[in-house]
Amino acid sequence: MRRDLALVAAFALAIAALTWVLDSGVWLNFVMMTLYAALLAQAWNLLGGYGGQFSFGHALFFGCGAYVQAVAQLQGGLDAWFALALAVVVAAAVGLFVGALTFRYGLKGSYFALVTLAFAEVFRILAVSVEFTGGGVGLMLPLRESAANLQFGSRKGYIALVLGFVVAALLVTTWLRHSRFGAQLQAVRDNEDAARAVGVDPMRTKLGAITLSAAFMGAAGAFYLQVFQYIDPGIAFGPHVSVEALVGAIVGGMGTLWGPLLGAAVLHLLADLTRNLFGQLPGLNMVIYGVVLVLIVMFLPRGLAGMGRSLRELWKRRDG
């Protein structure tokens, strides 16, 4: 526990120092987007990695966060920071609601994945159809640059904000790894019946996990809106965000503290590199990205964070 906390602190300081010295806009943007992707992956990891519930529709919570952030400021006239708190709370509440519905009926595995995907799609269509979300046109946040409005003149302000969320997610994950709730959650993931037999309430643990996970997705959604000042139903509830969240966690290593962060960083680096190197041949960058993804999933079932162990096992199997 102490070791994990010390590493989290070291990580936060390192990123802060890096941001302090960087002044290339490209690199600051890279750091910001990587941290943002890490936040998505970490949020997914809380439920998918530690709880074993594979959601395919995490954009649902992301979109709720983004829209609450927008609507609360535009129509509710709320202060941006207060809107942020509300966005997180509403996303968490939506998580609790979806969890209560799906876990109550014992939905697991691919059924859970499909139902979460369906929920995200329903919300996407709702966002197109109703008035206060601006319909298909989406919502635009007027430019009012000041820290009080959560709009920063430099990327550094946004990096500070998203770094705060990432560190919070790391701390929650650390707590999961060293607490009763986390132990029970992992027990339910590994074997639900055995967990029930020794007194674990699977409903309660899964609801806790989906609520936490949704809260961080909501924060990511609100952050997205503040950075890009625009949201529409496709961005908010479309499959892109859901996929980014789960791929980051799976590539990095599910159920690990640092995996999602690692996965997000490597994938972002890879995407940027291939785009820059092969940009003149449209599509080739995506092919390479896809091939690397397949290789990682095939040969590193524990993700990048469990790379050492996976490679040792591969080696042993070849010898044996």
Partner 1 sequence: MAETPLLALRGLSIAFGGLRAVQDVSLDVRAGTLSALIGPNGAGKTTLFALMSGFLKPDAGQVLFDGQDITGRAPHLNARAGMTRTFQIVQPFAAQTVRENIAVGAHLHEPRRAAALAQAEQVAQQVGLAAQLDKPAGDLTVAGRKRLELARALATRPRLLLLDEVLAGLNPQEIAEMIPVVRRIAEGGVTVLMIEHVMQAVMNLAEHVWVLAQGQLIASGTPAEVTADERVIEAYLGHGAAARLQAANA
Binding residues for partner 1, per CB under 8 A?
Answer: 178-180, 183-184, 186-187, 190-191, 193-202, 255
Least Å distance, CB 301 to partner 1, is 12
Least Å distance, CB 178 to partner 1, is 5
| Among candidate residues 307, 52, 74, 97, the one with its CA nearest the CA of residue 218 | 97
| Among candidate residues 75, 180, 80, the one with its CA nearest the CA of residue 130 | 75
How far is Cα of residue 167 from the mean position of the Cα atoms in its chain? 13
Q: Are 53 and 206 in contact (CB under 8 A)?
A: yes
Least Å distance, CB 304 to partner 1, is 17
Q: Are 217 and 81 in contact (CB under 8 A)?
A: no
12-18 — which CB contacts under 8 Å span 24+ positions? 12/163, 12/167, 15/159, 15/163, 16/160, 16/163
Least Å distance, CB 99 to partner 1, is 17
Which of the 8 DSSP states describes residue 53? Answer: -
Query: CA 54, 55, 58 angle in degrees (round to 5)?
Result: 150
Which tokens hold the place of 253? 């290593």
Q: Which is nearer to partner 1, 197 or 298 (CB)?
A: 197
| Among candidate residues 81, 49, 94, the one with its CA nearest the CA of residue 246 | 49
Least Å distance, CB 195 to partner 1, is 7
Least Å distance, CB 192 to partner 1, is 9
Alpha-carbon distance 265 to 14, whole Å? Answer: 15
Least Å distance, CB 6 to partner 1, is 18
Which tokens hold the place of 47? 């439920």
Least Å distance, CB 202 to partner 1, is 8
Which of the 8 DSSP states describes residue 24? Answer: -
Q: Which is nearer to partner 1, 77 or 199 (CB)?
A: 199
Strands (E), the chain: 139-140, 230-231
Alpha-carbon distance 154 to 288, whole Å? Answer: 33
Phi, psi of 106 (to 5 degrees): 65, 30
